[in-house]
Chains A and B, each alone.
Chain A
Amino acid sequence: MRELPQWVDVIVVPVVSLLLAAVISALVILAIGEDPVLALQTMVSGALGSSYGWGYTLYYTTNFIFTGLAVSVAFQARLFNIGGEGQAMVGGLGLALACLYLPLPHWILALPVAMLAAFIFGAAWAALPAWLQARRGSHVVITTIMFNFIAAALLNYLLVNALRPPDSMDPATAQFPGGTHLPTLADLFAVFGIGFAKSAPVNVSLIVALAACFGVWLLMWRTRLGFALRAYGNSETAASYAGISPYRMIMVAMLISGGLSGCMAINNVMGEAERLVLNATEGAGFIGIAVALMGRSHPVGVILAALLFGFLFQGGAELALWTSIPRELIVVIQALVILFTGALDNMVRGGIGFVRDVAHTLREAPERQGKG
C-alpha cells in the first residue's frame, strides 16, 4: 500500500471515521428503541440551529481549544501530557486568586493579568512532573495523572477551608468583583449591531483561544525553539547530536503545555462561572487529549476537533434535555467518536488505502487486456 495523499489523510480519513461513529451510534440508538434521525436532528438544531446553541457550542469549544493545544504542544515533543485536567484546575486557582485579591478595575486589564496568573499556576503544576521526567526518568504519563488527583485534593481543601465565604455551604470562592467580568460574544456583537443570544456563556476567551492557536503555530513552525521541540520529538538522539538539550526541551514543552491548560480558566472560571467552583474543569483536560489526537497536533486541526467536541457536548446536552435518550448513551456516542477518530484511525486509513488500491487495479485491468 502506498502512502495516502495529504488531502485524504487530513480530510477523508476523519470524515469517514466520523461517519462510522455516527452509523454505530445510530444502531445503538435504534437498539434502545429511539429514533436516530430525530436524535441527530435534535443534536444539530440544538447545537448549531440558533445563536443560543452556537453560544454553548463555542463555549465548550473554547475549553477544548486550550486543552487540545496544551496536549498537542507536548505531543510535538513526544511527551504525553495527561495532566491537563489538574493543570487547568490549578490554573483556575491562580486565576481566582488574581481576580479576588488584585485590584482589577476593568476587564481589559483583568484579562491579561488573570490569564498570566492562570498560565503561571498551570505551568507550575506541570513543572514537577516535567522535571521528574527530564532528570529522573519518571514517566510523565504516570506522574501527570497522579498530579490530577493531587490538584483535586488541593483545590477541595482550599475551597472548603480557605476560600469559601464563611456563610456559604457551597465549596466555591466568592463571586469575583464586577471589574473582572468578561464581555460575552453577545456584548461584542452588539457593538457591530449583530444580535446574539445573551444568556449563552461564550465570551471573549474564544478570541484569545484562537489567538493562542496562531501563537502556537508561530512558535512551533516559525521559530528556532519550535524547530528544536519538533526535532527532539522526532528523534531524541539526533536532536542531542545537534546540540539540543533534552532536559530543556522537556521542561519547555511541559511548561507551555501546562500553561495553556491553565489558561482554560479564563473561559470556564472567569468567563462563565465568575467564581471558582469545585468541579470547574469537568473533564475538559481529558477531552483535550482526544482533540489533539484528532487534530493531528496541529493548531488548525485542534480548532476543528474542538468544534466537533463542542458540538457533541452541546448536542448531547440537548439530547438529554429534550429526548428520553439516557445520558449514559450520550457518553457512549462521544466515546465512539473518540474511538474511531483516535484509536481506530489506522483501521480507517488502511480501509481507504485498500479501496483506492482496488479501484486502481480495476481501472488498470482493462488497459492491460487491451494491450494483450
Chain B
Amino acid sequence: MAKLTNWRVMAFVAGLGMAGAAGADPALVFDLGGKFDKSFNEAAYSGAQRWVSETGGSYREIEMQSEAQREQALRRLAETGSNPIVMTGFAFGNVLNEVAPDYPDTKFVIIDMVVEQPNVRSVVFQEHEGSYLVGMLAAMASRSGTVGFIGGMDIPLIRKFACGYVQGARAVNPDAVIIQNMTGTTPAAWNDPVKGSELARAQIAQGADVIYAAAGGTGVGVLQTAADEGILSIGVDSNQNHLHPGKVLTSMLKRVDNAVYNALSQGKAVESGFFVMGLANGGVGYALDEHNEALITADMQATVDEATDSIAGGALVVHDYMSDNACPVE
C-alpha cells in the first residue's frame, strides 16, 4: 500500500508538470494487446514477475491503449526517473528512436526491434528457428500429412513465423500440405479467439490435424477448438502446453520473459546494443514438459534435437523472411 501511495503522489507531481520526481524503479510498457494476452506480452509480464519474486523489487507497468500514447508513456516514465524502461513490440521502434536521445541517462530496452541509439538495448528473436522446430514436430505428429498455420495479421513478423514453420514441416515431410490463414486485417485480429476457433475448424475440415497459432490472444480459441475436435495444436511465445494438457503438441517458446528478466536484473547498468536471441543462446525453442511428454516420441525428440544442434552450430540455416521479404517455400 505504501508503494501505491508513493505512485499517487508522483502522479500528482507529474500531473502538475513538475517533472523529475525521484523514482528509480524500472518500468515495463506493454504493447496494445494488453499484458494478459496468454502470449507475447504475458511472457514479458511473467519475466518481470520472476524478477519481483526473486529480488523483492518493484517496477511500474503500463499497458498501451493508443498509438499516440507510446511517446507520452516513454517520456513520462523517463521524466519521473524510471530506469531502465523496457518495452515490448516493434511498434515502439520509431518513437523510441526519437525519445531516447532526449534522455541520455536513461536506459531503454526494446524487444522485437532494432533501435540504434547509445542508450538502447535492442533484443530481437530468431522466431523462424523456433518455428522451424515446431514445424518439424507438426509434420512428424501429423497422420494426414496436412498441417495448419493461423497467424494474427498479415504482417512481416508473422510471415517470418510462417516461413520457418513451413520450412521445418517440409524438412521432415517434403510432401506436407501446409494450410495458412490470417485472422484479420484490424488489430482486433490479435485478440479474437472466436475467429481463431472458426479458422481452426475450417482447417480441420481441410484435413489439418496439427495447427500452429501465432496470433496472440486469438490463439486461445485455436487451441481450444483443436482440443475439442481431438486434434493437436501448437502454442506460441509463452509455454501454452498447460492450457489443454495432452492436446497441445508443443509451444514455440520465444523467451521474452528471459529478455525482460535480464534487463530488470541488470537495472540501470543494463548493457546497450544489439542482441539476437536464437536457438544458439536459448532465446527460442520448443516446450517439453509433463503436459506433452506423451505426445513427443523419442524419435521425434531426437530428430528435433539434431536439427537444434545443427542450427545452433550454423550447419543448418533457416531462411529468415525478414532478410529478403520472401519465403523460398510456400
Contact = CB atoms under 8 A, between A and B. Distances in A.
Nearest to A281: B67
A275 B94 CA distance: 10
Interface in A102-132: none
Contact of B185 (A156, A166, A199): A156
A321 interface: yes
A111 to B, nearest CB: 20
Contacts of B34: 327
A46 interface: yes
Contacts of B10: 322
B313 interface: no
A279 B185 contact: no
A49 B71 contact: no
A46 B172 CA distance: 57
Chain A contact patch, size range: 35 or more
A223 interface: no
Interface string B14-38: 1111000000000000001010000
Given A149-B185, A170-B93, A42 B65 contact: no
B153 interface: yes
A165 B87 CA distance: 23
Contacts of B69: 317
Contacts, number: 115
A278 B7 CA distance: 33
A160 B71 contact: no
Nearest to A56: B72
Interface in B46-65: 62-63, 65
A322 B11 contact: yes
Contacts of B67: 268, 272-273, 277, 279-280, 282
A152 B189 CA distance: 11
Given A320-B63, A324-B4, A330-B65, A46 B154 contact: no
Contacts of A268: 67-68
B15 A199 contact: no
A33 B14 CA distance: 24
Contacts of B93: 170
A25 to B, nearest CB: 17
B12 A41 contact: yes
A171 B156 contact: yes
B90 A169 contact: yes
Nearest to A171: B155
B157 interface: yes
B8 A152 contact: no
B90 A317 contact: no
Given A41-B12, A50-B15, A322-B11, A169 B156 contact: yes
Given A199-B75, A327-B65, A160 B155 contact: yes
A153 interface: yes
B8 A323 contact: yes
B91 interface: yes
B75 A279 contact: no
A45 B12 contact: yes
B25 to A, nearest CB: 13
A198 to B, nearest CB: 10
A166 B17 CA distance: 40
Nearest to B159: A160
Contacts of A171: 153, 155-156
20 contacts: A50-B15, A56-B72, A59-B68, A60-B68, A157-B154, A168-B156, A169-B113, A169-B322, A170-B90, A171-B156, A201-B71, A272-B68, A278-B187, A313-B66, A317-B66, A317-B69, A320-B62, A321-B73, A321-B76, A324-B4
Given A45-B15, A170-B93, 13 more contacts: A42-B15, A170-B94, A268-B67, A273-B67, A275-B94, A278-B155, A279-B32, A317-B69, A317-B72, A318-B11, A321-B11, A321-B76, A322-B11
Interface of B: 4, 7-8, 10-12, 14-17, 32, 34, 62-63, 65-69, 71-73, 75-76, 90-91, 93-94, 112-113, 153-157, 184-187, 322, 325
